[in-house]
Amino acid sequence: MSEILSTISTLVIEGNFGEMVDKTNAALEEGLGAEEILNNGLMPGMDHVGVEFKAGNMFVPEVLRSAKAMQEAMEIIRPMLIESDAPTAGKVVLGTVKGDLHDIGKNLVGMMCEGAGFEIIDLGKDVEPEAFVNAVKEHKPNILGMSALLTTTMRTMERTIKALEEAGVRDTVKVMIGGAPVTQDFASQIGADGYAANAASASEMAKRFAG
């Protein structure tokens, strides 16, 4: 790995977003492509963050700083990646379900998945089942990720899966769910394809589903 790519990885791991713009531009000036910066700089950094987060050696505030560092670089290289038609790991549609306004966990999942090379379509929070269905029809994602932080909104996940079935698109997408009150048992009960306990696990699951 070139020195500048190694530096970019380290900036992600350290959550040093202040220097990221300069280093990303420096990498481009050295003649490195956007895809190379993503695959060999940002992604290894986020992979490391994911491992440390799962191991309990990093915590949400630190992961958010790392994600912000990665976002600073992505702002610069995303247009180039789109222009060059660089292959992505797949598409992920994300949203916090209807009635729920929590989005830190969902945002973290989006950042971790983007760090793993996915294109993210983030529907935001308080998302109706029909809006998830429309997004699946429009974007044809590999994965639909739903988040709920309240026990009262968990059932909306089930309603969304039923809405996907009624629309005839359930078989076209893998559904993964997460959030504080959500469990693997609940995921099995409502017919989701997977449950992720945290953002790092969600990113790994997305890679498996898209592979």
Residue 134 pLDDT: 98
Angle at which helices 3-14 and 60-83 cross, to 10°: 140
Q: What is the mean pLDDT of residues 122-141?
A: 98
pLDDT above 70 for 203: yes
Give the pLDDT band (50/70/90) at residue 161.
Answer: very high
Q: Are strands 118-122 and 90-96 parallel, antiparallel or unpaired?
A: parallel
Q: What is the mean pLDDT of residues 17-29?
A: 96
Contacts of residue 79, defined as CB under 8 A and 6 or more positions apart, other chains included, come to: none
CA distance 93 to 134: 11
Q: What is the mean pLDDT of residues 129-150?
A: 97
Buried b (16+ CB within 10 A) or exposed e, 80-117: ebeeeebebbbbbbbbbbbbbebbebbbbbbbbbbbbb
Please, what is the average pLDDT of the chain? 95
Topology adopted by domain 3-83? 1.10.1240
Same-fold call for 3-83 versus 90-210: no
How does pLDDT run across 56-109, given as a tens digit for each residue? 999 989 999 999 999 999 999 999 988 888 788 999 999 999 999 999 899 999
How does pLDDT run across 33-59, given as a tens digit for each residue? 999 999 999 999 999 999 999 899 999
Residue 1 pLDDT: 66
Residue 19 pLDDT: 96
pTM for the model: 0.87
Domain boundaries, the chain: 3-83, 90-210
Residue 197 pLDDT: 93
DSSP output for the chain:
--HHHHHHHHHHHHT-TTTHHHHHHHHHHTT--HHHHIIIIIHHHHHHHHHHHHTTSS-HHHHHHHHHHHHHHHHHHHHHHHHTTPPPSEEEEEEEBTT----HHHHHHHHHHHHTTEEEEE--SSB-HHHHHHHHHHH--SEEEEE--STTTHHHHHHHHHHHHHTT-GGGSEEEEE-TT--HHHHHHHT-SEE-SSHHHHHHHHHHHH-
Say which CATH class 90-210 falls into: alpha beta
Residue 211 pLDDT: 84
CA distance 128 to 98: 5
Q: What is the mean pLDDT of residues 135-157?
A: 97
CA distance 20 to 12: 8
Q: Residue 167: how many CB atoms within 10 A of its CB?
A: 16
Counting residues of the chain whose pLDDT is more than 90, the rounded percentage is 90
